[in-house]
A and B are shown apart, each in its own frame.
Chain A
Amino acid sequence: MAILTLRGHDFEVDEDGFLEDPSIWNEEIAACFADTEDLPELTEDHWKVINYLHNYYAQFGIAPMIRKLCKETGFDLKYIYKLFPSGPAKGACKIAGLPKPTGCV
């Protein structure tokens, strides 16, 4: 566990830079973590993805299937990679405060 300081705030993160405690997440925190993904500004499309991920996680305790994320947001995977260069799992999930998806992924 390490402390990551973003925009003047201290956050407890794991070695991959993901928020240790998802329950403290809010939109300000999302904006801070966007810095770590080289995304100084989050557009409406970014927020659509982030909010979907956060809400799905709150309801189901895991990140959604990538295909479902695409379907529900209306964005294809190519576009999601454009929004989040690290991808839905490693980029968008980090900003949305989810734990890093693991397994054969």
Chain B
Amino acid sequence: MTTGGTPIKPFLAKDLSLLGLPEIAPENRPRKAVELLGEMKEQIRSLRLFMDSCAKCGACAEQCHSYLGTQDPNNIPAARVDLVRKVYKRYYTTMGKIAPGIVGAEDATQETLEQWYKYFWQCNECRRCAVFCPMKIDTAEVTIAARQIMTKLGIVPKFVMGIANNMHKTGNNMGIPVLALKDSVEFLEQEMLEETGKAIPIPVDQEGADVLYNPSSSDFFANPDSMIGAAKMFYAAGTTWTISSDIVETANFGLFFDKGVMKEHSNRLLNAARKLKVKRIVGGECGHGWRTWKMFTPELNDRVEFPIQHAVEEAMQYLQQGRIKVDPSANPEKVTLHDPCNMARGAGIIEEPRYVLGRVVENFVEMYPNREKSFCCGGGSGILMDEIKETRIKLGKAKADSVRATGAEILVAPCAICKAQLPVAMEGNGVEVTVKGLLDLVGNAIVL
């Protein structure tokens, strides 16, 4: 529903039965939100600190792609956090209780929840603000908390809930059933045979393999080159590997709206690894999926007996050890690298993709800003809904400006959400470039 330039909000999910949450009547939602906030401020230190530590300096404003692209003051990180903070102040601070008007404290109302839904789904949880905030306030933590509260109130976007349902049913976000997965695997093996003359396998459910590879399910729909690149890489390196038909999904959407869903996804991967008796797990191209695997796995599981490594780290090691040979002339175009927020700023994979790209392409140029200062693509935290495409294009503006300045023909984005969002952001902001995964280019350059 557009009203003269007002951004449409994501469609709401109607069936949240998967979450098994008690139903909250709409008129009780504001009161319940306040209650949940009260619990969370005692359970999550980051949330608590960030409520109390903002000096309102405004340094975050010009660093946030969401504010830069939409020019909506509520998208200034400090203002976005204030959407929660003003309620927190009203019910949980002395000044907020006795003199709310002076400290900007406000009652929680239906309008509050409308604002939360509108603006916390315009924050990509990219955490760039945390890099530039003198108090090191990470708005993403507040977004995650606000979205968790909304989930418990029954307010979840349809797009996200659909993915969670698919994940639960099939072990991947697209909802690809096992037979379809096997058909796609067969097709890709056939493609690789035709291309290389070699029978490069994509093993499924192979017990005792060294590696359980966990790609994004979009590798089996829109980004097969990433899957092919991985298969060629393991083949050339002589690594025994497999995917699991039980979970072929590295993108943990639970991070975006519900901790229970996030935990279930994490547990499922480790169980798959145990069942297949692998030695270690390699994560595929996904930014936030990598952050959850790298940073959260021990807290979400009773035990973690597998080292978890990223496919890019794997590629770098193979190159360093001389286990794979690459010919960069296979990638002659001008190539630039987009640092996915959760991979770089969120989980430390910053120099590895550069090491690999330096060897698999001929003409690599950096964009600016980059590394931990890179702008978000605009699709982060699951903001890939078609109904808010206009907003997504605005969210992608800062990144589009960075890319345009490089004059690159290929934009490498080692993240499935970025691969889905960047074409929209680039086209919408008038930048011509082809988006590819990192493994795609490795696959091109690999000498078999």
Is there a direct interface between A and B, measured as CB atoms under 8 Å apart in the complex? yes
Residues of A within 8 A of B (CB): 15-16, 60-68, 71, 89-90, 101-105
* Given known A-B contacts A15-B158, A15-B387, A103 and B217 have beta carbons under 8 A apart: yes
Shortest distance between the CB of A1 and any CB in chain B (Å): 8
Beta-carbon contact of A101 and B174 below 8 Å: yes
Residues of chain A with a CB closer than 8 A to B224's CB: 65, 67
Option from B183, B187, B286, B420 in Cβ contact (under 8 Å) with A105:
B420
If over half of A's interface residues share one DSSP class (helix, strand or loop), that class is named, otherwise mixed; here it is loop
Q: Which residues from A are CB-within-8-Å of B281?
A: none
Other-chain residue from B11, B177, B222, B416 in contact with A60 (beta carbon distance below 8 A):
B177
Q: What B residues does A65 contact at CB under 8 A?
A: 184, 187-188, 220-221, 224
Asked if B124 is at the interface of the complex by the 8 Å CB criterion, the answer is no
Q: How far is the CB of B148 from chain A (nearest CB, A)?
A: 21
Query: Does the CB pair A102–B173 fall under 8 Å?
Result: yes
How many residues from B make CB contacts under 8 Å with A? 35
A43 → chain B closest CB, angstroms: 25
Q: Are B417 and A104 in contact (CB under 8 A)?
A: yes
Closest to A17 in B: B386
Measured CB to CB, the nearest residue on chain B to A66 is B222
Are A62 and B177 within 8 A (Cβ)? Answer: yes
A103 touches B221 (CB 8 A): yes
In the complex, B384 has a CB within 8 A of chain A? yes
| From A62, A67, A90, contact of B386 by CB (8 A) | A90
The residue in chain B whose Cβ has the minimal distance to the Cβ of A60 is B180
A77 to chain B, nearest CB (A): 10
B405 lies within 8 A of chain A by Cβ: no
Chain A's closest residue to B216 (CB) is A104
Q: Which residue of B lies closest to A86 (CB)?
A: B386
Residues of B within 8 A of A103 (CB): 163, 166, 172-175, 216-218, 221, 251, 416
Whether the pair A68, B174 counts as a contact (CB closer than 8 A) is: no
Most chain-B CB neighbours within 10 Å: which of A16, A67, A71, A90? A67
Indicate if the CB atoms of B176 and A105 lie closer than 8 Å.
no
Chain A residue with Cβ nearest B172: A103
Instruction: Tell whether, in the assembled complex, residue B177 and residue A61 are in contact, meaning their CB atoms are under 8 Å apart.
Output: yes
**Can you report 6 A-B residue pairs in the complex whose CB atoms are below 8 A from each other?**
A15-B158, A62-B175, A65-B221, A65-B224, A102-B163, A104-B417
Whether the Cβ atoms of B221 and A63 lie closer than 8 Å is: yes
